[in-house]
Chains A and B, each alone.
Chain A
Amino acid sequence: MTELSRIWRETEYRYNLIGYKCKNCGNSYFPPRDICPKCHRESIGKMEKVKFSGNGEVISYTVVHDAPPSFKRQVPYVLALIKLSEGPVITAQIVDSVEEKIDIGTKVHMVFRKIRQDGDSGIIEYGYKFAVN
């Protein structure tokens, strides 16, 4: 069983695609991080939440055939590395799109979806996926 607090803690970021921006150097980060890897201690207290546009481009993608139990029902699914227009590269699924349209360089946008289900009676977790523009 996944603990509720563990999911709840990240909900804001996963539902709204919120990351952090370093006010010292201007770089944006996703996933959220408390310290800027460029500025180190100079960034303490200068990391602020930023909501990303949800627009991005496929850097790479794969079709997953062999998945853990909580993703079994979705197999085969497309997993991709997506470069957000603000800079960060994130790992997410691409849905609602014919596979032939997905390629390196394809423009995508964020959609809100069910991510996984923890067993038959377990809780359902939500977050971002992406769809081809």
Chain B
Amino acid sequence: MKVLSNEVYIIGAGETKFGELWDKSLRNLAVEAGLKAIENAGIYSKDVDAIYGANSLAGIINKQENIGALIADFSGLSADGIPSLRVESSTASGAAALRDAYLSIKSEEYDVVVVGGVEKMTDIHGSDILEKSSSILDREWEAFFGATPAAMAALIARKYMHDFNVDKEALSMFSVNDHLNGSKNPDAQFRNKLTLQQAMNATAVADPLNMMDCSPLSDGAAAVVLASENYMKKNKKEGVHILSSAVAEDYLSVGSRQSIYTLTSTKLAAEKAFRKAGTKRDDISFMEVHDSFSIYGLLELEDLGFAEKGKANKLVYDDIKLEGRLPVNPSGGLKAKGDPYGAVGVGQAVDAYRQLTGKAGDNQIKNARYGLLHNMAGTGASSIIHILGE
């Protein structure tokens, strides 16, 4: 029997700017990111075995489904019959597509796969978007009663702050760090630095969370090219090694969970990811975590295993900074880089690729060797983790 040992590498990456991109459509964005990644990888369309395209809300925001075909078509690949499938797992669609592509190479079905993620969220006005974005919750038993993603995060935050005596300041510091890093990332939606004062006193959204605790609405797309070890050797390519890919689920609604401030899906996925990668937490040079709301940043530090429950506030002042012991969100994270739902997880891979190849510009972390990427669906219903290395 043949033993599967085909390792998977990222050999190229590219993304659009994240933000309110009025002049660009869903398909413009997807194609722009895909072409950048292919160019960066130095491959041609004839080399591509398959495309996995991540998207979360195009059906209800842009009234466009059939995203796989759309991407292939406008990338000029339809006539070649290259398989192109859309992957949807809410706000974790990006990492889900990355994982599916990873598995397709691991299984030796394919050698070169393009993973794309795209979301076009700003074609919709005012509070209408909240009706759509609340579809990441349980529609019938959370959103139906007036819950929004921010409100659910606020419920978690209030209880967390109460039980562990954590100040609001700790949450705001997470956003301050994101903005500081985002100010140095040309692809980021927000390039402004945020003072703690500004972060604390912004307009209330869902008490205790304010606007500076919440990621923005974003348009954006990101893409990476994955290749098998065989392809790499044959074509003398270099790349970033995907050491592990892991996913785990939890209950869809917050109220059904064992503990409302424990991201069990993150805990379980992290255990699997570290075990499969053979790395320790001390090995991690930087992390990109899914902080769609500041509170999640703190919970993730804990449930990924970098702080005890209720103690993440000890890390948010110094450790998570770019030059700190455990840099978190060097890209600017979801708060500052932006939160185009289906593109987030792929965007994290673009950032990690740049970090691990020494091309992260002003955000470059010295001696970056291992990066952990955490992409989460909804309020923690699914977590997908990738550990990348040299």
Interface set of A (CB-CB < 8 Å, partner B): 10, 31, 37, 59-72, 74, 77, 79-81, 88-93, 104, 115-116, 125, 127, 129
Contact = CB atoms under 8 A, between A and B. Distances in A.
Contacts of A62: 151, 154-155, 158, 206-209
Interface stretch (B82-90, B135-143, B183-191): B135-143
Interface residues of B, number: 38
Given A31-B140, A81-B255, A89-B255, A72 B145 contact: no
B158 A61 contact: yes
A79 B255 contact: no
Given A59-B159, A62-B207, A68 B148 contact: yes
Contact of B127 (A63, A66, A104): A66
Contacts of A61: 155, 158
Contact of B145 (A59, A60, A115): A115
B256 A89 contact: yes
B98 interface: no
A91 B130 contact: no
A34 B159 CA distance: 30
B155 A80 contact: yes
B146 A67 contact: yes
B306 interface: no
Contacts of B255: 81, 88-91
A1 B208 CA distance: 33
B134 interface: yes
A40 B143 CA distance: 27
Contacts of B205: 65-66
Nearest to A63: B207
A81 B127 contact: no
B159 A67 contact: no
A94 B241 CA distance: 51
Contacts of B158: 60-62, 104
Contacts of B253: 31, 91
Given A77-B146, A79-B147, A64 B206 contact: yes
A104 B93 CA distance: 35
B145 A79 contact: yes
Nearest to A128: B145
20 contacts: A10-B140, A59-B155, A60-B260, A61-B158, A62-B154, A62-B158, A65-B206, A66-B127, A69-B127, A79-B145, A79-B146, A79-B147, A80-B155, A81-B155, A91-B141, A91-B145, A91-B147, A92-B145, A104-B162, A116-B146
A127 B146 CA distance: 12
A127 B145 contact: yes
Nearest to A6: B140
Interface of B: 126-128, 130-131, 134, 138, 140-148, 150-152, 154-156, 158-159, 162, 203-209, 251, 253-256, 260
Nearest to B211: A66
Name the residue among A69, A71, A80 with the largest chain B CB count within 10 angstroms: A71
Contacts of A74: 146
A70 to B, nearest CB: 7
A44 to B, nearest CB: 20
Contacts of A60: 155-156, 158-159, 162, 260
Closest 7 pairs between A and B when the two form their complex, measured CB to CB: A89-B255, A62-B154, A60-B159, A68-B131, A31-B141, A68-B130, A63-B207
A71 B260 contact: no
Nearest to A66: B205
Nearest to B257: A89
A60 B154 CA distance: 9
A68 B133 CA distance: 10
A90 B151 contact: no
A91 B162 contact: no
Nearest to B147: A91
A66 B156 contact: no
A64 B144 contact: no
Given A79-B151, A127-B145, A63 B206 contact: yes
Contacts of B159: 59-60, 81, 104
Contacts of B128: 68-69
Contacts of B126: 69
Nearest to B144: A115
Name the residue among B130, B154, B162, B255 with the largest chain A CB count within 10 angstroms: B255
A74 B140 CA distance: 19
A67 B151 CA distance: 9
Contacts of B146: 64, 67, 71, 74, 77, 79, 93, 115-116
A67 B204 CA distance: 12
A81 B254 contact: yes
Given A88-B255, A91-B253, A81 B260 contact: yes
A23 B251 CA distance: 21
